[in-house]
Structure 1
């Protein structure tokens, strides 16, 4: 038997089918119910069907410390893992993995979720739901659209890792089926995802701020997924025959400016809704449900981010200090006057390097002297948060601050909203600016305005960019704004790849700030942590070896 990891992928269906029912709506675990129980023609309330749909949401991607205990960004030039062992993130950064051991393997989970959502799509119309949205859309259509949105997002998670993957449509394969499916091209996958977004958007809920349905996709969520997919498709990695000379993976034979135009239009369509706004306080974007969030996977109110990543010297070991931002990321944040620290007019003082910086720096990174839990962070050598010895601690002189509550003057933590934010409005503005800049010969005022909205919220004065920038100069500003604005939100790892800059940016030495407090003052030194390694084959993740060996039609990615 040949299959796309239908171990687990088909076992969901097998488990659902192998148990008999006791009563029509008995609330036994959903995985122990038959399809006849779940999609019951006598259940006009759709109780079991809704439970099945709710279970589909668990396949949505998580964010945070999810890659072997680390942020994905710890596999980029923005951070390293504080863990002293050879972590999954470090393997990604150094390329020390094989097709049989990819550290961020989503293949099985993705196709399990795709299968489960397809079961729902195929069967929900058997349930005579009576409810409708305010606009008259029947709940059958709404729920089906939600399942199709989840499925489209899962396909994108696979495509951004691997390029083209097998597309299954609505078909649900069984264990006894002979599944010997080839990969579709990247373009075919993009076309499928975009088409799904277009087909479902008008059947989804409209109000993204209705807390009663928080975590359910809305029309704008489908539009945001479309925007991101089309931005990737227009980017240099995929916009042309860059990886696979046979075009099996990219599907494109040459560069096309038209792909930037459709990406621009997709982002502009969300801006034209006039539903979303940048949250005035950057820190609050991540700890309160607000009008900048477009779509999130529901998380918990807890202190998990703080405990995982906070500086280690507080409250008898409550923090694990897992994430160490690099000096490279610190240097990417300019000054509050909008100038980079390398500009002689910026006012940057190497003897007081953390003064007068971009406000996002303070919301993203703990540095030595930053206030936290009513005392300054101490990352100087021998300080409370870098004591030396064997305890896990910062490797760079910095800790992650982003996503944490406002505990600067508190004495202990309290629960904080830690949803998994998958789409937010700041990304859409940057998507638009990037796509339009690439389409035009010279950036126009709409490009400037989109970037400057981000910079204005960051508190830069002036927020305006230098006038008269050419396309290349504007590209540099946009790329740096994405790095600062979207840090630790799982963009940098893929942005640098899709820009086809990874052979340059991810082959560099990463640095730490070593700080010594002496009787006469402070001594600061930059020292290497390790050198990243990037090879051309790493632009795309390998197809799991187990899938290639089972399926002769499953073509492996180049050089894997």
Structure 2
């Protein structure tokens, strides 16, 4: 009998340079042979879930390339203890290299996520699916479709990181020659076309939705697969991969070009069509934008706080209760305590469950719109020049900012997503065990030289701003500890609407349909329509009427709506905008000061290091030596 590791090891060895010992766990526990792994339905189902295994590992936010390298959240680099994997957060400080790449998903060394190994598991499943004689035809079709989706998504994950990749369409035989094993990279267009072909094969045999949520929530559906197809085609159409002049000269050693030399507008047409199909099936199956419904324990809730909770819970609501959530991964988000300020002195004792170390740079705070729905630096009614002056919370702002608390002026008159997404000095923190409108927590972040009092307990957040959106309002970090688990979304309907608007604008420029899908998201966020807002309040009112101008608006809208969800990092890469975003210094407030006038002075923490070469990950140098048919990514 041939062991599974024998079949796969030869194909892996020269591709990645990793010892075969790392690939001996390809089958489920106690499953040593193909015959055993597929001897009946139950064993084959175990193998199916093994194909899902790496997918579930992607739920780990601190090793998510998009979550950690977008510049939305930064992490201190001077802690004496290191409770998390800081590799991803350190990369924007300049730690990336080709000798030992950070978040190395190519061969899995150091990252622990060997995606090529997972692709080979999928191939093994597809090659042996006919063996279990007690597997029904209907289940077989569904399982094949699920595995083809997983195979496509694993290729897509690699393509977003590395661009052109080897396409592992079939596992190589143990008798394969040395040259057959030395797999070269396929052109980026071929890569995306292959991913889409796998999705197209999978979609017809997937269920539209999961009916038995108690047993099957998290398994792949048509709505998920069609939404991923929309993301794949939008990525392929975007500037990073569609006629990028930085990559024109990149080729395999045999002279084969790996990137298209010219821009192809038809790619956006395919993307727009895919987005619309995905939206239609989502809506046909009952998906809609989330709206908060207060539990019986909350007897009074003003519209302003209801809007905040709607926007916050669109992310933190349980999947089975959230009609907006298209896809998430089953492991729950483990970092709520890192995203929560220490709101009371008692909370200090929860230093392990409430580290408070996820910090939001000042540039992200200033990215959010004013309450008029336009950027604060172009709002005719917003005092942008005086935004750092001091203002005291009053009756009108009491559900956003603590009454009679002195804070900075730019915290006032901001859009609801600002208050739903950010915890800041003086900001109301509804929840954490308090839902009485006359007794709500607010953040006090000034002065951190000791733990002497409530104003001195936020010592580990290096900017004074927290990603509030990542915390369920019912989670409690005080002298008690109660964390309400949720799954961080991969795809929400709001994101799909904006993706469609983006593709429509690239195809046709500003149209009524593009505005409609932008405004679906803006209306839920409590903002005027995009045309109304720019016409009435912007210093640049014509921006909404041009293709380039609307593109900028849509990009900012996606960043704001999907903030902290692990999406913006991929978006900023495919748009080729991450270099510009990270060119701004990473700043926070002057944390050691207690007086508002001194505290609200921007303090530069570090300057990010990101160049053209950083848009794609380097392949490890050793892998290039082992497989001399591989070529390195540009500029590494």
The alpha carbon displacement at 1:399 in A equals 1.5
Matched, 1:438 2:506: yes
Residue of structure 2 in register with 1:309 after alignment: 339
**3-state DSSP of counterpart to 2:337:** helix
**Shift in CA distance, 477/413, structure 1 to aligned 2, threshold 3 Å:** farther
**3-state DSSP of counterpart to 1:324:** coil
Matched, 1:361 2:418: yes
Quick one: distance in 1 between partners of 2:564 and 2:21? 34
Decide which of 258, 261, 271 is 1:253's aligned counterpart. Answer: 261
Structure 1 runs not aligned, ≥5 long:
18-28, 133-137
Quick one: distance in 2 between partners of 1:455 and 1:193? 32
1:458-493 alpha-carbon deviations (Å, 9 max, x no partner): 122456553652111111111111111112222222
Matched, 1:329 2:329: no
Q: How does 1:518-537 map to 2 (within 5 A)?
A: 523-537=599-613
Quick one: distance in 2 between partners of 1:106 and 1:542? 10
Matched, 1:271 2:271: no
Quick one: distance in 2 between partners of 1:446 and 1:520? 46
**Shift in CA distance, 420/502, structure 1 to aligned 2, threshold 3 Å:** closer
Quick one: distance in 2 between partners of 1:469 and 1:265? 23
Decide which of 369, 378, 383 is 2:444's aligned counterpart. Answer: 378
The alpha carbon displacement at 1:260 in A equals 0.8
Residue of structure 2 in register with 1:81 after alignment: 75
> TM-score of the superposition, structure 1-length normalised?
0.87
**Shift in CA distance, 173/358, structure 1 to aligned 2, threshold 3 Å:** farther
CA contact (8 A) 1:190 1:230 kept: yes
Residue of structure 2 in register with 1:117 after alignment: 122
Residue of structure 1 in register with 2:404 after alignment: none
Quick one: distance in 1 between partners of 2:501 and 2:249? 32
Residue of structure 1 in register with 2:329 after alignment: 297
**Shift in CA distance, 346/56, structure 1 to aligned 2, threshold 3 Å:** same
**Shift in CA distance, 530/272, structure 1 to aligned 2, threshold 3 Å:** same
Quick one: distance in 2 between partners of 1:15 and 1:75? 30
Matched, 1:449 2:522: no
Matched, 1:417 2:485: yes
Residue of structure 2 in register with 1:344 after alignment: 380
Residue of structure 1 in register with 2:619 after alignment: 543
The alpha carbon displacement at 1:187 in A equals 0.7
Q: Which is further off, 498-507 or 429-438?
A: 498-507
1:4-56 alpha-carbon deviations (Å, 9 max, x no partner): 227467854x5568xxxxxxxxxxx635332111211xx3xx11111111122
Q: Which is further off, 50-59 or 522-531?
A: 522-531
**3-state DSSP of counterpart to 1:418:** coil
Q: Which is further off, 160-169 or 507-516?
A: 507-516
Residue of structure 1 in register with 2:313 after alignment: 284
1:414-437 alpha-carbon deviations (Å, 9 max, x no partner): 342332422221221111111111
**3-state DSSP of counterpart to 1:107:** coil
**3-state DSSP of counterpart to 1:294:** strand
Quick one: distance in 2 between partners of 1:363 and 1:489? 13
**Shift in CA distance, 305/90, structure 1 to aligned 2, threshold 3 Å:** closer
The alpha carbon displacement at 1:77 in A equals 3.1
Q: How does 1:379-398 map to 2 (within 5 A)?
A: 379-382=445-448, 387=456, 393-398=460-465
**Shift in CA distance, 320/125, structure 1 to aligned 2, threshold 3 Å:** same
CA contact (8 A) 2:248 2:260 kept: no
**3-state DSSP of counterpart to 1:361:** helix
The alpha carbon displacement at 1:106 in A equals 1.2
Residue of structure 2 in register with 1:182 after alignment: 184
The alpha carbon displacement at 1:102 in A equals 1.9
Quick one: distance in 1 between partners of 2:380 and 2:481? 41
1:68-123 alpha-carbon deviations (Å, 9 max, x no partner): xx884443332211342594234321333211222221113111111111111111
Quick one: distance in 2 between partners of 1:336 and 1:550? 57
> TM-score of the superposition, structure 2-length normalised?
0.77
Quick one: distance in 1 between partners of 2:174 and 2:21? 6
CA contact (8 A) 1:16 1:34 kept: no
**3-state DSSP of counterpart to 2:329:** strand
Q: How does 1:12-51 map to 2 (within 5 A)?
A: 12=23, 14=24, 30-40=29-39, 43=40, 46-51=41-46
**Shift in CA distance, 347/279, structure 1 to aligned 2, threshold 3 Å:** farther
**Shift in CA distance, 168/515, structure 1 to aligned 2, threshold 3 Å:** closer
How many residues matched? 532
**Shift in CA distance, 444/462, structure 1 to aligned 2, threshold 3 Å:** closer
The alpha carbon displacement at 1:347 in A equals 6.9
1:167-223 alpha-carbon deviations (Å, 9 max, x no partner): 110225549863111000111110000001111001111114641321001112111
Quick one: distance in 1 between partners of 2:242 and 2:411? 40
Residue of structure 2 in register with 1:25 after alignment: none
Residue of structure 1 in register with 2:58 after alignment: 62
Quick one: distance in 1 between partners of 2:30 and 2:495? 37
Quick one: distance in 2 between partners of 1:142 and 1:9? 31
Matched, 1:198 2:200: yes
- Is the strand fraction higher in 1 or 2? 1
Matched, 1:91 2:90: yes
Quick one: distance in 1 between partners of 2:622 and 2:51? 25
1:255-314 alpha-carbon deviations (Å, 9 max, x no partner): 1111111111111111122232111222222231122122221014xx832223322462
Quick one: distance in 1 between partners of 2:596 and 2:204? 67
Q: Which is further off, 161-170 or 538-547?
A: 538-547
Q: Which is further off, 169-178 or 420-429?
A: 169-178
